[in-house]
Amino acid sequence: MKVGVIGLGLIGGSFAKAYKAAGHTVYAHDADMSILDFAILSGAADAPLDDDALRYCDLILIAIYPRAAIDFLHGKAQYFRPEAVVIDSCGTKIHICAAGFQAAARYGFTFVGGHPMAGTEQSGFKHSKANMFKGAPMIIVPPVYDDILFLDRVKQLLAPAEFGRLTITTAEKHDAMIAFTSQMAHLVSNAFIKSPTVLEHKGFSAGSYKDLTRVAWLNEALWAELFLENRDHLLGELDIFMASIQKYKNALESKNKGALEALLYEGKRLKEEVDRR
């Protein structure tokens, strides 16, 4: 299989390494030529992904920022072969899927929205690895939902990455869910660490501090773009969170132990409930 990878950051670099390790031919592109050159020299890719190489790719994996991914589709879709399957890796889906499905209808290839639920707080090609996705969930937004043969084909195309589970959904459902499961976690972590107390935390912090602050370390340009792409869903989750936090604040201010215990129990009960599912 001939695979094209656009973007050699953490996700794209891991895709390139995974498919190369599985014995496939990997063509790659990155805006930073030094990274592309290193990827080829290190054996993570075979050659640059130019317009001519695009014409021969069976699978094209787009792993760049959402707006850049849309620009890439607008500029390069004409070079994709009709049999090609194009899968993006953007953290939001509504805008990229609209652009991808439109381009696919015009030029005859197949577009599938994708979001690998894997990674680390570190970014860049140097942190990518061939087993990054092993056992991890992969969310896909297909053009059709009732074609078992097509969905099996997508599963086979993604097999070299060794995902543990494919979750099939719509772009709208994806963005609504991700606002809660991913974007809110990054936003709250990033805001939490801004307390001046953080400067004196050493010797007073353990696992709970590390868990809560891990994703405060992020790529600010990427996450700002993702937050704005998903602004409405994220604002809705923020409203819910802030209203909930206000209840804890009210209970503390009024020294209402019963109310505080009830709030804490409710949170514990919900955690137990969702973990059983």
Same domain, 219 and 90: no
Give dist(CA 23, CA 13) in Å, integer: 16
Domain end position, chosen among 150, 169, 188: 169
Same domain, 178 and 165: no
* Residue range 176-219, pLDDT digits in tens: 999 999 999 999 999 999 999 999 898 888 899 999 999 999 99
Helix (H, G, I), strand (E, B) or coil at 2: strand
Strands 25-29 and 2-6: parallel
Host domain of residue 127: 2-169
What's the mean per-residue pLDDT of the chain? 95
Same domain, 71 and 152: yes
Domain end position, chosen among 151, 169, 187: 169
Q: Which residue has the tokens 């599912």?
A: 277
Same domain, 204 and 161: no
Same domain, 125 and 180: no
Same domain, 93 and 202: no
Domain end position, chosen among 149, 169, 189: 169
User: What integer pLDDT is reported at residue 120 of this predicted model?
Assistant: 74
* Residue range 81-137, pLDDT digits in tens: 999 999 999 999 999 999 999 999 999 999 999 999 987 777 899 999 999 999 999
Burial of 39 (0-12, 13-18, 19+ CB in 10 A): buried
Same domain, 64 and 188: no
Q: What is the CATH number of the domain that holds 50?
A: 3.40.50.720
Same domain, 97 and 17: yes
* Residue range 144-183, pLDDT digits in tens: 998 999 999 999 999 999 999 999 999 999 999 999 999 9
Domain total of the chain: 2
